[in-house]
Amino acid sequence: MIGTTRDPGARGPLAELAARSAGHLTVEGLDVADPAQVTALRARLTGRRLDMLFVSSGTTSEEDTPVGEVATEDFVRVMVTNALGPMRVIETVADLVADDGLIGAMSSGQGSIANNTAGGRELYRGSKAALNMFVRGFAVRQSGTRRSVLLLAPGWVRTALGGPGAPYTVEESVSLLMDVLESRLGRPGLAYLDREGRIVPW
Ligand SMILES: NC(=O)c1ccc[n+]([C@@H]2O[C@H](COP(=O)([O-])OP(=O)(O)OC[C@H]3O[C@@H](n4cnc5c(N)ncnc54)[C@H](OP(=O)(O)O)[C@@H]3O)[C@@H](O)[C@H]2O)c1
């Protein structure tokens, strides 16, 4: 298993997990906003075969700001981290994924256009809706293959991004998300699913 972080030298949770993994988890440096780093990672992985490629990079901005009032640099940062960056990784690394493997990205329920009746978080929602559309386009290009393509909506999780008020812990969420990922292996085509494996409307 390979995990990435922007600062692979940091003694964070990923490094601790790798240290306890008896070599099963290795850590690579990657900033998805830097195309040169994506290309360099692909080069370092040459010769590897991946069962799954899953991109979970994500960020947000001031949640209550209407998108038309967002600073351009915030718009670019969120869209690049949440939509363009993951697609660059997918396009660049996909050739290492097994013919019957899985390629996916961490979306959000907030990326559902149909479910957006509450409003708010306009830039974040837009970036995840863009990610959904881009992954859908990628999936069309994968049709006719045995690969599974997946967008996951993890629910509201207590992370740096989710904040302390979120109802779900990382531990319970990751376990459920891994179950959904594994359930999609060997099932060609695109799905947009929540943490219980239920379909999320586009
Ligand atoms: N928490 C929630 O309630 C919730 C709900 C729905 C969807 N999500 C999605 O779940 C994913 C993970 O978020 P989280 O809740 O775990 O938030 P988090 O704790 O803030 O983690 C953000 C993750 O994104 C990575 N990242 C950010 N910018 C990056 C960049 N430029 N290049 C590469 N990686 C970058 C971070 O990696 P490093 O800092 O290690 O480099 C970290 O792994 C995101 O896509 C988020 O939108 C979260």
* Residues 44-75: tens digit of each pLDDT: 999 999 999 999 999 999 889 999 999 999 99
pLDDT at 47: 97
- Is 76 a pocket residue for ligand 1 (Cβ < 6 Å)? no
User: What is the average pLDDT across 83-104?
Assistant: 98
Contact 163, 152 (CB under 8 A): no
* Helix residue spans in 6-158 (DSSP H): 13-19, 35-44, 72-79, 85-93, 122-142
User: What is the average pLDDT across 106-119?
Assistant: 98
> 59, 139, 49, 128: which is closest to 103 by C-alpha?
139
Q: Which amino acid is at 3?
A: G
pLDDT at 22: 97
Distance from residue 143's CA to the centre of ligand 1 (Å): 28
pTM, 2 dp: 0.97
User: What is the average pLDDT across 35-51?
Assistant: 98
> 77, 82, 75: which is closest to 106 by C-alpha?
82
Categorize the per-residue pLDDT at 162 as very low, low, confident or very high, splitting at 50, 70 and 90.
very high
The percent of residues above 90 in pLDDT, for the chain, comes to: 97
Q: 93-114 burial, b for 16+ CB within 10 Å, e for fewer?
A: bbeebeeebbbbbbbbbbbbee
Q: Which of 6, 54, 55, 57 for mutating ligand 1's site (highest number of atoms within 8 Å of CB)?
A: 57
Tokens for 38, please give them: 């994506």
Cα 2–chain centre separation: 14
